[in-house]
Every structure is written in structure tokens, then in C-alpha cells.
Structure 1
Amino acid sequence: MSRILTGAAALVISTVAAFADMPVLRAQVLKFGTVNWELDTIKHHGLDTANGFDLQVTGVAGGAAAKVAFQGGATDVIVSDWLWVARQRAAGKDYVFIPYSKAVGGVMVPEGSPAQSLADLKGDKIGIAGGPLDKSWLILQAYAQQQYGFDLAAETEQVFGAPPLIFKTALQGDLGGAINFWHFMAKMGASGMRQLVSVGDAAEALGLDSETPLLGYVVTGEMLAEHPELVAGLSAASRSAKDMLAGNDAEWDRLRGRMNAKTDAQFEALKAGFRAGIPAEGPVDEEAAARMLALMVELGGEDLLGAATELPEGVFVKPGS
């Protein structure tokens, strides 16, 4: 005997069927990355399905693993900086960048440090999150040379390591200075350390635009060409989540459990730092980006940017493309 479903039961079945037909966007991101706060907001409020896709997020231990998965087609979306995208495009790979954050780190020193400038770190041990080609480290070296005629690399001892290790070592007082990602820097400040200089201020002194978003979602040009509605949907969901996080403290209270904030001060610093890093809507200023790339070519050369010597066409997804 057949049975006709009506009311709520029929609605559930039709909703499930529609959801099953919805395209999936697979994202791989760092487990401890701040992008998880935005992605959590997207999923919690259904901003993905409202924009025509089902977002599926996988956490990975390192950025290199996400890049390998992306290049091998095992994921659709990763988070990286646009300089990496520029390098890949110069090598013939059709990747494109959707802005996510303009937040940058800086140099933190112990609360009682007498240092007032980078030149005062002469002879000190500096912890650096990343490696010798870390963009913040390169910018700070150029800034120290420009402002003080000071060779930051030659006159200090560098310790390179993962962001959590640099954070922990700095709080133990084992470093004269520490260069870390913005969210670790925010927690360091909330724990009593003092900012000596931000990478944003250093970049502006070098003629760069601190409003240029460095980090973003990376997708393939093939996806943009064949499914522009998916790329537009991801951009729209990201912006909606940012709007929520920019103006609604209750959203942050909900996220607090995954933010690894040990104190109220750390929680407030992380919230303020994320909000400060939200980029303006609209297209990326490509002239400003070209200036940044030119400086990175000068400082990091082929080791950092491969064959990219100027900004390739098509790095940034343009609104409406």
C-alpha cells in the first residue's frame, strides 16, 4: 500500500534530497588556525548551504600537508598567502586567491626588556615562527636596515620553530624577542609581553600597504571557470561570517571553547585581533600587491617566489568574476 507523506515529514525528505544534490567544497586547513573560527561560523549558521554548497572541513597538522592535498586534487580549498599563489601561477599552475585576512604578526619582547627598537636586540636570541624565508622575518630585516642601518640577521641569533613552540619558549623568558603569527602574538601580549614593532608598521615604512590582505582561500582556476557560482558562494559565506564576527560578541562566546584562550585577557585579545584583520570588501589593490611582491623578490628571491618576478595576471579573484 502506498503512502503519501505530508507536512513536516515531506519537508524533511525534500530538504535531505536537496542537500544531497548540493555540491561539496572540501577544505583542508591548519587545526590551530584562526580560519577555523570563520569556518565554524559558516557551518553553524548554514552560510554554506545558503550560498549553494556544503562545506566539509578537515584539519591538518601543517600547511605543507594542505598544499600537497590541494595540488593533488584531494581538497578543493586551502588557506595560504597570495605570494604562494603568485609563485604557483608563475610556474604554470592555475590557482586563484580569495582574500581572508590582513592580520600580520610582529616582534614581541619580554615585559621587562629594555629594548625600544629592533637595533636594541643586538646580540639577543630571536625566535621566529617559520623558517629563514618567513615573510614577516624578511620584512622586519628590511625595516631594520632602512630605519637603523642594522643587520638584524647578522647581529642576532635566530631560533626557527613552529608557532606554538616559539610562543611557549617566549613566555618562558628564553628569548630576547619573538616573531610569531598574530594570534600567538595576541596571547603573548595578554600574558605580559610587549610589542616592539608590528609587521604592518614595518611594511608601511617600506612603502607597502598594510591593508593588502596576505592570507586567503585558494581555489583552482578550473573551479572559477566552470563553477563560478561556487567561488562566489564561498566568498559570500566568508563575508557573512566576518560580518557576524565583527559585530556580535555572542558569536565569540560560542567559539571560545575552540580558541585555546587560557584567560579572559587572551580571549579579548584574540577577538580584537581577528576583527582588526578583516579586510575591506572589494577587489585587492593590485598595484599595492605588486609593490609587495617586488620587495619579496628582492629579499627572498627565487627561493621564496620561484619564477615570479612580477605580479602574474589572475592571482586575485575579482568580485563578480
Structure 2
Amino acid sequence: MKASRILGCLLALFTTLGVANAEIPKLRISVLKFGTVNWELDTIRHHGFDTAEGFELDVQGAASSSAARIAFQGGQADVIVSDWLWVARQRAAGRDMVFIPYSKAVGGLLVSQDSDVRTLADLKGGKVGIAGGPLDKSWLILRAYSKQTFGFDLKAESEQVFGAPPLIFKAALDGDLAGAINFWHFMAKMETAGMRKLIDISDAARDLGLDPETPLLGYVVKGDLLRDAPGLVHGLARASRTAKDVLARDDAEWDRLRDRMNAKSDAEFDALKAGFRAGIPISQTVDRDAAARMLELMHDLGGRDLLGQASTLPDGVFLDPETPG
């Protein structure tokens, strides 16, 4: 009898725990399977920063950014990672989406170590590899920079080769390109492989009067989620910030993540760690005036193909800071 009562109490306890766990909302995030955001998401989950904020992070690996966006727009995911210019385009088209800053890291343009290229002007007539397509933001910024600094359009004066980051990475290392524009983590690997950085996109942006502290990438949620569960959305923002604080100061955390980083050497590992840390935004509050200037430049270069109806910065693109109390 006593044993049965104990068993009954244990079953009741397990049932209660199951109900309690079921009440914790899951936040489904669709991201590239091998994207660098996974390092932050792993840190959040490993330390329980999500459950401490009252939700459970459910990470869904996607094969491409397009696949992640389809899952998000189709209701199979609650969160994706994208740039705020895409969010601005969606809002201008009447789709209610909100951006939470994640990273200000941008790439650069690299050349081989023994290349004679010293400035963008030396790329005239050469072949430039670009990770992404003709509307890649780094490419557009460098085009604007070449016009302002050297008086010519890099698009008109060079041959462009567009491709996925790994393909541009390989073509650059094989010497098939006069210069290559790649995402920051591939740029770190290219530098450790012996290539030379000709110009950093953040430096070009600064010379154009833009603020390199403006984070380009972030978590994107739908406005409905923010209205229905503001604590959940702000909880994600806080969990992200907490994870960044750990990654900014704790080398042991990076040692734990090393297997996920696919670093081929200690030098590559150190470069990836330094690059991620350099991309951590100072604040999750975005300077809207600086963002408006960037959007105006992007509109001048990319037009409707890039930004649709968003010729100026729409209201509500960025998550407002949480009101205390």
C-alpha cells in the first residue's frame, strides 16, 4: 500500500512536470545549417538562456536563406535571420515584420598576396568574384565607394562572377579572380590561407558617410508575435545579448564551440573568433537616422529590385527597446 502511494505520488509529480514543461512556449527559428548564428544559438541553448527567459529555442536547419524565408512566411518558423533592408522591403509592401539586431559583421574584398592590385582602381578590366548576386549589399557599397573615391563604376569597369561563398572562396584561392568579395567568415578563412584584404566593407561604408555600427543582420519576427507575446520577443533579444556577452569575454566557450566552427587550423579558429567578436553590436538599439542614410544609398544603387517600394525607411522596422516595469 505504501509502495503504491509512493508510486502514485511519483506519477503525479511527473505529470505535473510534464504539464509545466508543456507550458513553456517553443520559439522555432529557421537558420542556415552551417551559418555562424548557430554559434550563438548553441550558446543560448547550452546555458539555458532561453528557458531562463521563459521559452525553449527550437533550431531548424535550412539548406538556404530562401528555404528559411519560405518556412517563416509559411508559418513553419517563428524566427529567421536576415538583413533589415529585407525587413524594410517587406514592411513597405504591407507585411508586418520586425528586426532584432544580431551582427554588424560585414565582409571585404581580398586579393592574392602577390597581386599588383593596391586600390579598387587597379581592378579595372579584371574579374571580381562576388558572394551572392548583383544586389549583394557589400558589392553595392563598393560600387558607391569606387564612384566617390576613384570616379568610376566598378560594375562597368570589371567583369563580375557571382556565386555562393564557398565557390568564390575556392576560385579566389585558385587564382581565378583579380579580387573577391565574400562574407566575413569566409574572408577570415581566406586571409588565414594567405590572401590580402584590399578593403573592408565597414571602412568603405564609413567613407561614404554611413555608420559601420549599424547592424545589418538580425533576427526577424512577425508583428503578430510581438503584439501577442511581447515578452517572448524581448526574451529572445535578452537571450541573444546574454550569449553575446559570454562569447565576447569567455575563451573557454569558444573552445567548446570549436567543433561546430569547422576551423581547419588554430589560425583560422582565432580569426573566426575575432571576426565574430568584432561583429557584436554595441547596442540592440539601432540609430534610425543612420539606417535611413544606408537605405537611401541602397535604393540609389539597387532600386526596386533590391528594396521594392521602400524608398525611405518605413516605421517599425526595428524592435523598440523594452520599457522598464
TM-score range, shorter chain: over 0.9
C-alpha change, 1:256 and 1:7, in structure 2 (3 Å) is farther
Letter in 2 for 1:262: K
Residues 187-225 of structure 1 deviation map (CA, whole Å, 9 limit, x = unaligned)? 111111111001101111111000000000000001101
CA distance in 2: counterparts of 1:109 and 1:8, whole angstroms: 66
- 1:172 matched to which residue of 2? 174
CA distance in 1: counterparts of 2:15 and 2:110, whole angstroms: 55
User: Does residue 132 of structure 1 match 2:151?
Assistant: no
> What secondary structure is seen at the aligned counterpart in 2 of 1:29?
strand
CA distance in 2: counterparts of 1:134 and 1:305, whole angstroms: 12
- 1:260 matched to which residue of 2? 262
Contact residue 102 and residue 215 of structure 2 kept, 8 A: yes
- 2:221 matched to which residue of 1? 219
Contact residue 247 and residue 254 of structure 2 kept, 8 A: yes
Provide the TM-score with structure 1 as the length reference: 0.96
Residues 87-108 of structure 1 deviation map (CA, whole Å, 9 limit, x = unaligned)? 0000000000000000000101
- 2:31 matched to which residue of 1? 29
CA distance in 2: counterparts of 1:145 and 1:32, whole angstroms: 35
- The correspondence of residues 231-270 of structure 1 with structure 2, limited to 5 A, is 231-270=233-272
1:150 deviation in Å? 2.3
Residues 289-317 of structure 1 deviation map (CA, whole Å, 9 limit, x = unaligned)? 00000001101000000000100000000
The farther-off stretch of 17-26 and 247-256 is 17-26
- 1:57 matched to which residue of 2? 59
- The correspondence of residues 35-74 of structure 1 with structure 2, limited to 5 A, is 35-74=37-76
CA distance in 2: counterparts of 1:119 and 1:12, whole angstroms: 69
Provide the TM-score with structure 2 as the length reference: 0.95
Contact residue 108 and residue 199 of structure 2 kept, 8 A: yes
Letter in 2 for 1:198: D
Letter in 1 for 2:212: S
Letter in 1 for 2:88: A
Residues 160-212 of structure 1 deviation map (CA, whole Å, 9 limit, x = unaligned)? 00011111111112111100000000111111111100110111111100000
1:17 deviation in Å? 3.4
CA distance in 1: counterparts of 2:168 and 2:9, whole angstroms: 57
- The correspondence of residues 150-189 of structure 1 with structure 2, limited to 5 A, is 150-189=152-191
User: Does residue 275 of structure 1 match 2:280?
Assistant: no
Contact residue 100 and residue 284 of structure 2 kept, 8 A: no
> What secondary structure is seen at the aligned counterpart in 1 of 2:60?
strand
- 1:91 matched to which residue of 2? 93
> What secondary structure is seen at the aligned counterpart in 2 of 1:225?
helix
Residues 231-282 of structure 1 deviation map (CA, whole Å, 9 limit, x = unaligned)? 0110011001000100000110111111111111110000000000000124
Tell me the number of residue pairs that the alignment of Structure 1 and Structure 2 aligns.
Answer: 321
> What secondary structure is seen at the aligned counterpart in 1 of 2:157?
coil
C-alpha change, 1:282 and 1:30, in structure 2 (3 Å) is closer
Contact residue 129 and residue 161 of structure 2 kept, 8 A: yes
CA distance in 1: counterparts of 2:51 and 2:181, whole angstroms: 38
1:33 deviation in Å? 1.0
1:298 equivalent among 297, 300, 315: 300
1:115 equivalent among 117, 124, 132: 117
C-alpha RMSD over aligned residues: 1.7
Residues 104-161 of structure 1 deviation map (CA, whole Å, 9 limit, x = unaligned)? 0010111111111111111211110000011110010010111011221111111100
Letter in 2 for 1:225: R
- 1:203 matched to which residue of 2? 205
CA distance in 1: counterparts of 2:227 and 2:290, whole angstroms: 26
Letter in 2 for 1:58: Q
1:9 deviation in Å? 9.1
> What secondary structure is seen at the aligned counterpart in 2 of 1:3?
helix
Letter in 2 for 1:94: D
- 1:104 matched to which residue of 2? 106
Letter in 2 for 1:212: T
CA distance in 2: counterparts of 1:12 and 1:49, whole angstroms: 19
Q: Percent identity?
A: 69
